[in-house]
């Protein structure tokens, strides 16, 4: 599905890769990420002299959690793809991350580089709402939903002896 046949690409000059990678696909197996909808892959591979260029768009939605209160939040990506498969380079050569070695024969497997792009693009910090109040550091209550019984005195006990002094005077 995410393969480009190099023979055919050489013959035809370009190839479309249109795919929807479902949430249950093996693509996600080792990625610590929960897709909320299929990942839309819209790419075109193009022969560029001896090299191959893959360009297009990745779109998808993921189940994330609010950074403050940990409630589930759906966050999306809409990422431009630009990969260069360079002829004559070997795996492990010191190249930028989007420059990959072009195999001499067979096919390109786009799964790994695409998964890497997705992992980099998924937002790290998402919030369930503007001004999410988060969880009470004392008891863990979700302060968006309820008021807890912790008072600021309970949470910050450093001043208790001082208050005691004042009462004694
Ligand atoms: Zn929240
Ligand atoms: Zn509390």
DSSP secondary structure string for all residues of 134-166? -B-TTT--BTTT---S--HHHH-GGGHHHHHHH
Please check whether residues 82 and 145 belong to one and the same domain: no
Report the percent of the chain where pLDDT is more than 90.
Answer: 76
Distances from the Cα of 3 to the Cαs of 82, 90, 103, 131, in angstroms? 16, 19, 13, 44
Residue 133: nearest ligand to its CA?
1
Q: Quick one: which ligand is closest to 125's CA?
A: 1
Q: What pLDDT is stored for residue 149 in this prediction?
A: 87
One domain for residues 103 and 159: no
Q: Which domain holds residue 155?
A: 133-169
What does the pLDDT look like over 87-143, one tens digit per residue?
Answer: 987 766 677 777 899 998 899 999 999 999 999 999 989 999 999 999 999 999 999
Question: For residue 133, what are its two tokens?
Answer: 């109040």
Give the end of a domain, one of 121, 143, 159: 121
Centroid of ligand 2 to alpha carbon of 73 (angstroms): 23
pTM for the full predicted model: 0.79
Report the pLDDT value the prediction gives residue 101, as an integer from 0 to 100: 92
Which ligand is the nearest neighbour of the Cα of 144? 1
Residues 117 and 138 in one domain: no
What's the CA-to-centroid distance between 168 and ligand 2, angstroms? Answer: 29
Ligand 2 centroid to residue 127 C-alpha, Å: 20
Do residue 110 and residue 149 come from a single domain? no
| 104 and 166 fall within a common domain | no
């Amino acid at each position: 599905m995410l393969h480009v046949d190099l023979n055919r690409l050489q013959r035809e000059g370009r190839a479309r890769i249109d795919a929807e990678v479902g949430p249950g696909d093996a693509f996600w197996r080792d990625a610590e990420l929960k897709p909320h909808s299929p990942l839309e892959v819209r790419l075109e591979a193009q022969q560029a002299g001896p090299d191959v260029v893959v360009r297009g768009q990745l779109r998808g939605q993921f189940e994330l959690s609010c950074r403050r209160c940990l409630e589930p939040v759906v966050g999306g990506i809409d990422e431009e793809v630009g990969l260069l498969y360079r002829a004559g380079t070997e795996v492990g050569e010191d190249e930028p991350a989007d420059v990959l070695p072009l195999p001499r024969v067979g096919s390109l497997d786009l799964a790994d580089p695409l998964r890497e792009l997705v992992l980099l693009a998924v937002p790290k910090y998402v919030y369930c709402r503007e001004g999410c109040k988060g969880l009470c550091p004392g008891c863990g209550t979700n302060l968006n939903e309820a008021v807890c019984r912790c008072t600021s005195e309970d949470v910050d006990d450093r001043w208790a002896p001082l208050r005691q002094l004042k009462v004694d005077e």
